Amino acid sequence: MLKVKDGKKKDIGRGLVRMDPVDMDRLGLSDGEIVEIKGSRRTPVRLLAADHDDCGQGALFLDGLTRGNAGVALDDRISVHKVVVDFAFEIAIRPLTTMHLLEKDLDPSGLKEKLSGLPVINGDRIRLVLGGGRDCDFQVTSTKPGGSVMISPASELIVEKPSAGAKSDKATYKDVGGLSNQLQRIREMIELPLRFPQAFLRLGVEPPKGVLLYGPPGTGKTVIAKAVANETDAWFTHISGPEIIGKYYGESEQRLREVFEEAQAHAPSIIFIDEIDAIAPKREEMGGEKQVERRVVAQLLALMDGLQARGQIVVIAATNLPNTLDPALRRPGRFDREIAVPIPDRRGREEILQIHTRGMPLARDVDLIRIAEVTHGFVGADLEALAKEAAMAALRGIMPSIDFEDFQVPYDHLRTMEIDMKNFTAALRE
């Protein structure tokens, strides 16, 4: 058994895992061989030697995308099996993104060139770099034959239309910047009980049912909740306080009950309640007209008390204002763990900027450290907006050559387009 560790950025989307050559020898595997790794899913990957510094740890290095395909999480112990892969004679993929895709981006012959040699299985998620350096994720929707296959230049590639509402919001821990302490605590509190409920039962420790994340808007509370759900393969459902309150008489409680029932049916699950302060203000602050809130809080408490203490359903609630919450919600067995999600410091801002410029073609002069220094007070959402604004500034730079009639950016422009420091400075002035 080898311990799962995070792979290198450069390997993302290449269907690779890395391992100490000594372990390879021991397991009778060889460099470059296709193997299958298996957690709650299985996926074929190509085995390569790990960098020298990574050897001697009994570890297997997988990037987040591959971990998702195999259904394994960091620190899991997994085994690696040899597998025979056939060449695919047909394979269908579908883009998983809402970004604007050009017809040229989806041209099967161009994509096939990039995909040749990649081992996949139906349902895998794959990542390709398209024109302009943009990352785009696709899902494999069918292969012939079935099972683990290798894409070859002779495979027929079918590119399906993006499905309506498709979103690439599969956040992983890598998408959360500057909050490593918080993530560490969240993983202990939520990931461990979700994944090893027996261990908690055996030790007689009650896994938490509710965790309260508090901090200013846009600091990453939602991203954290989604990342934990994805990394643990838990079902994720998201409701917001104002949305529940906005219902008609009796409907609010009904909606809450439905959410909990659904989560129970799909356990292990994470229920994320955003802006919980809207449904659960302190009772003394609820006058006569606050009857709805009163009933909704009572319902929420009843539902949480009714959750079996198996750690298989965790309710994560987020608020900007922890002190305005009904104290009944913070008693033991309810939201009894709290994690502050602060405004990022300089290092945090740098990490967040790196995350949000990941798929962007940055010019060499772009100095993210410098940008992090001058963006004091910016939260994650602001930094994300800044990166997008810089991209828009770059686009405006080539505007004269965009043909509005045709509404497409010439492909050559896309290929050579870059975002430079001037674009960021312009974005900062906005």
Shortest Å distance, C-beta 185 to ligand ADP: 15
DSSP class of residue 409 equals: -
Distances in Å between the Cα of 303 and the Cα atoms of 248, 255, 360 are: 20, 12, 44
Q: Judged by CB, which is closer to ligand ADP: 65, or 318?
A: 318
Distance CA 22, CA 56 (A): 8
Residue 223 sits in the site that holds ligand ADP (CB under 6 A): yes
Q: Judged by CB, which is closer to ligand ADP: 16, or 352?
A: 352
In DSSP notation, 186-210 reads HIIIIIHHHH-HHHHHHHTPPPPSE
Residue of the chain from 110, 218, 322, 397 that contacts ligand ADP (CB under 6 A): 218
Shortest Å distance, C-beta 232 to ligand ADP: 18
Distance CA 217, CA 274 (A): 10
Residue of the chain from 95, 380, 387, 409 that contacts ligand ADP (CB under 6 A): 380
Query: Which one of 36-44, 157-165, 217-225, 327-335 is the stretch in contact with ligand ADP (CB under 6 A)?
Result: 217-225
Residue 270 sits in the site that holds ligand ADP (CB under 6 A): no
Q: Which two tokens stand for residue 209?
A: 């049912």
Q: Kindly report the number of other CB atoms within 10 A of residue 59's CB atom.
A: 20
Q: Judged by CB, which is closer to ligand ADP: 173, or 200?
A: 173
Q: Which two tokens stand for residue 91?
A: 């394979």
Residue 269 sits in the site that holds ligand ADP (CB under 6 A): no
Letters for 305-344 (x = contact with ligand ADP by CB under 6 A, - = none) are -------------x--------------------------
Shortest Å distance, C-beta 384 to ligand ADP: 4
> Which residue has its beta carbon closest to ligand ADP?
380
Residue 242 sits in the site that holds ligand ADP (CB under 6 A): no
Q: Judged by CB, which is closer to ligand ADP: 169, or 285?
A: 169
Q: For the chain, how are helix, strand and coil distributed in percent, rounded to 5?
A: 40, 25, 35
Q: Which two tokens stand for residue 115?
A: 């995909």
Residue of the chain from 18, 221, 337, 349 that contacts ligand ADP (CB under 6 A): 221
Cα dihedral angle (226, 229, 230, 233), rounded to 10 degrees?
Answer: -160
In DSSP notation, 225-293 reads HHHHHHHHT-EEEEEEHHHHHTSPTTHHHHHHHHHHHHHHHT-SEEEEEETGGGT-B-GGG--GGGHHH
Shortest Å distance, C-beta 351 to ligand ADP: 7
Answer yes or no: are the C-beta atoms of 333 and 304 closer than 8 Å: yes
Q: Judged by CB, which is closer to ligand ADP: 119, or 210?
A: 210
Residue 176 sits in the site that holds ligand ADP (CB under 6 A): yes
Burial of residue 10, with CB atoms counted within 10 A of its CB: 0-12 exposed, 13-18 middle, 19 or more buried: exposed
Residue 222 sits in the site that holds ligand ADP (CB under 6 A): yes
Shortest Å distance, C-beta 241 to ligand ADP: 12
Residue of the chain from 95, 132, 178, 210 that contacts ligand ADP (CB under 6 A): 178
Shortest Å distance, C-beta 214 to ligand ADP: 9
Distance CA 119, CA 15 (A): 7
Contact footprint for ligand ADP (CB under 6 A): 175-179, 217-223, 318, 352, 355, 380-381, 384
